[in-house]
Amino acid sequence: MFWQRKDLLGLRYLTPEEINLILDTAGPMKEIIGRKIKKTPTLRGRSMVTLFYENSTRTRSSFDLAGKFLSADTVGLSSSSSSVAKGESLRDTGLTLNAMGVDVVVIRHPASGAAEYLAKCIPAAVINAGDGTHEHPTQALLDMYTIREKKGSLTGLKVVIIGDLLHSRVARSNIWGLTKMGAEVRVAGPMTLIPQDIKAMGVKVYTKVEEALAGADVVNVLRIQMERQQQGLFPSIREYSRLYGINQSRLELTAADAIVLHPGPMNRGVEIDPQIAYGNRSVITEQVTNGVAVRMALLYLLTGGEYHAISN
């Protein structure tokens, strides 16, 4: 199968076959990350710019490393250190980068739809690295890769997503992706942090976290996004932690081999107990490694690579 899209804007738009193609391509990429010399000539002569209008540790640095491991030329731009700070528009910034011959632009932006807008403005491939509360497709792909690696398949798994679903682009991308791949997706959190129309995305909604966790195979704990909270959506951090935080007694409600994910950055002791975050059910560190592999796969596919044709 060939990748046929110019951009990666969201999992809402992908078919299960396309999702499988990305996850299958990430496997050989992960093997490269495990080598002592993490360098292949696959994308030599190709270029990638990361254009970040919001802070990031994982996504930005993993795209940068993904490009470098494949020998692409990489440039990192942030809104505070570029001409965006002088008022340059997203369209003009994109056209400027495009005129320099860039092949892939990876964008993170606080406005939902920004990646799609940029993709319409420029012929270069655009990858959405998180747009407002809309989607964060590469995070969901690395989550799905990690789950598939641990569980063998996504089909039929009971996956619980807990927390601030209202503001979470990670949750939205996971829901689109996991439901397409045949998983049962349960969401849980305070009613004030669950969008009213979320059932239409094919999920089961729970307000009691214990009911959602019963027999679950996977628990994906969302970050409480302090920076996006309006007043009054939940009483207090301590109350949130008491009612919805993932701790040992709640984890015991899940399947005996259930795994715990968190997209990071974590508010340790708020949405997740530190003992769980660093315990033997946690796959949070593996998520970070897999993030590089999935992003290598995407750079490869969006620049014209075929699965099974990766050169060493």
Smallest distance, ligand CP to C-beta of residue 262, A: 9
> Could you give the string, one character per residue 16-55, with x where binding to ligand CP holds by CB under 6 A and - elsewhere?
----------------------------------------
For residue 126, the cross-strand partners are 105
CA nearest to 186, candidates 155, 227, 214: 214
* 287 forms part of the interface with ligand CP (CB under 6 A): no
* 173 forms part of the interface with ligand CP (CB under 6 A): no
* 265 forms part of the interface with ligand CP (CB under 6 A): yes
- Quickly list DSSP for 137-197: HHHHHHHHHHHHHHHS--TT-EEEEES-TTT-HHHHHHHHHHHHTT-EEEEES-GGGS-TT
User: 101: Cβ–Cβ under 8 A, 6 or more apart, which residues?
Assistant: 47
* 81 forms part of the interface with ligand CP (CB under 6 A): no
CA–CA distance, 303 with 291 (Å, rounded to integer): 18
* 163 forms part of the interface with ligand CP (CB under 6 A): no
Instruction: CB nearer to ligand CP: give 108 or 158.
Output: 108
Applying CB under 6 A, which part among 118-126, 213-221, 261-269, 297-305 lies near ligand CP? Answer: 261-269
Instruction: CB nearer to ligand CP: give 57 or 285.
Output: 57
CA–CA distance, 175 with 160 (Å, rounded to integer): 10
* 57 forms part of the interface with ligand CP (CB under 6 A): yes
Applying CB under 6 A, which part among 57-65, 190-198, 200-208, 240-248 lies near ligand CP? Answer: 57-65
Scanning the structure block, which residue is given the tokens 């015991």? Answer: 252
* 264 forms part of the interface with ligand CP (CB under 6 A): yes
User: 67: Cβ–Cβ under 8 A, 6 or more apart, which residues?
Assistant: 43, 48, 73, 74, 299
Q: Give the binding site for ligand CP (CB under 6 A).
A: 56-59, 130, 139, 263-265
